[in-house]
Amino acid sequence: MAKETLQQIAKRLVAKKKGILAADESTGTMGRRLESINVSSTEENRRAWRELLFTTEEIGQYISGVILYDETIRQQASTGATFVDVLKQAGVGVGIKVDAGTVRLPGSPDELITEGLDGLRQRLNEYRDLGAEFAKWRGVITIGPELPSLYCLRTNAHALARYAALCQEAGLVPIVEPEVLMDGDHGIDRCFEVTELALKVVFQELTDQGVELDGILLKPNMVISGASADDRADARSVAVATVECFKRTVPETVPGIVFLSGGQSDEEATVNLQAINVVPDNGPWEWSFSYGRGLQATPLTIWNGDSANVPAAQNAFRERMQVTSAARDGHLVS
């Protein structure tokens, strides 16, 4: 696919007012989400939940793209239309998670490496033929007393870059996701230090492997205090630190930054996003979102596996989209 087409897709995904819905939970992760509301993780229940999200009215006003899982991109709505067609008819682009999850990093048992490069070229071509326009791969970085190691940063960055190069070869926009986890009691300064180093290593690998940076999107963590830290930094501190960190590390040619919610509550994820978008002189990028739990947690609880609750759950999902869209454009979140 022409470079210009990749650029167009990337820019469309970070259009004003819009962001990305991450509905790419693996079967195991989706199972845990459903178990949290006492719903069994059958294929039908997983399908019904995704249909609830994808058929919500006005989804195309707030969501530019949805990241799917292998099971989901092959499923159909109750009408018989594929989910791919349902989304495209709503004006929403289709993406696909292509990594195979994390395993322990050999030689560093407290760190993780993402698998899935074997056979990736063939899988990307198949997903493109199924209607995907973009893809996602997540690398995981843990903060600890002696972590992360440079070994972990380099191996994950190398995998992210190989994935990104293969995506562009197949005509898909790669979403590059190096996630520095919130787990721990570290302060915001430590998160800044690790995130800065991680991003420098990632972009060096992307450049070394010939990835066109104007045809990717970055899906990072915000620079934020650890989840169990004392006196966690407020939204303004998060915003200022995040913008400064990214100015130091992210090339200006990258079209947009689509933050993950990364364990933040619905409210925290939207308030922090709004604060980032109003920082003066915050760089050339579009600051958007690619939220999973940050959009789904409340409607999932309302749905509770009961078809009678679908309208109320869709209303809650619409409200979450509206609030997050407002935050993405720098409007105050009420």
Torsion sign across C-alpha atoms 29, 299, 318, 260: negative
Question: 334 in a domain, yes or no?
Answer: no
Higher pLDDT among residues 263 and 223, named by residue: 223
DSSP string of 165-177, one letter each residue: HHHHHHT-EEEEE
pLDDT, tens digit, 9 for 90 and up, residues 55-94? 999 999 999 999 999 999 999 999 999 999 999 999 999 9
Q: How many CA atoms lie within 13 A of 64 on its CB side?
A: 24
In order of 91, 180, 188, 196, 222, the CA distances from 177 in angstroms are 24, 9, 20, 14, 12
Rounded to an integer, what distance in angstroms lies between the CA atom of residue 296 and that of residue 46?
Answer: 13
Model confidence pLDDT, tens digit, residues 280-293: 999 999 999 999 99
Fill in the amino acid letter for 68.
L
Which residue range is the domain that position 11 belongs to? 3-328
- Digit-coded pLDDT (tens) for 11-61: 999 999 999 999 999 999 999 999 999 999 999 999 999 999 999 999 999
Cα(235)–Cα(254) distance, rounded to whole angstroms? 24
Is the pLDDT assigned to residue 123 strictly greater than 70?
yes
- To which residue do tokens 């993406």 refer? 95
- Give the integer Cα–Cα distance in Å for 309 and 85: 24
The total domain count for the chain is 1
- State the chain's mean pLDDT as an integer: 97
* Within-domain flag for 323: yes
Residue 94: strand pairing partners:
66
How far is residue 256's CA from residue 12's CA, in Å, rounded to a whole number? 10
pTM check: above 0.85 = yes
Asked whether 179 and 135 are in contact (CB, 8 A), the reply is no
Give the 3-state secondary structure of residue 77: coil
Question: Within a domain: residue 333?
Answer: no
What CATH number does the domain containing 102 carry?
A: 3.20.20.70
What backbone phi and psi angles, to 5 degrees, belong to 254?
-65, 125
Give the per-residue pLDDT at 2. Answer: 82
Cα–Cα distance measured from residue 277 to residue 281, given in angstroms and rounded to the nearest whole number: 10
The residues carrying an active-site annotation are 219
pLDDT confidence of residue 332 = 79
- Answer for the pair 53, 81: CB distance below 8 angstroms, yes or no: no
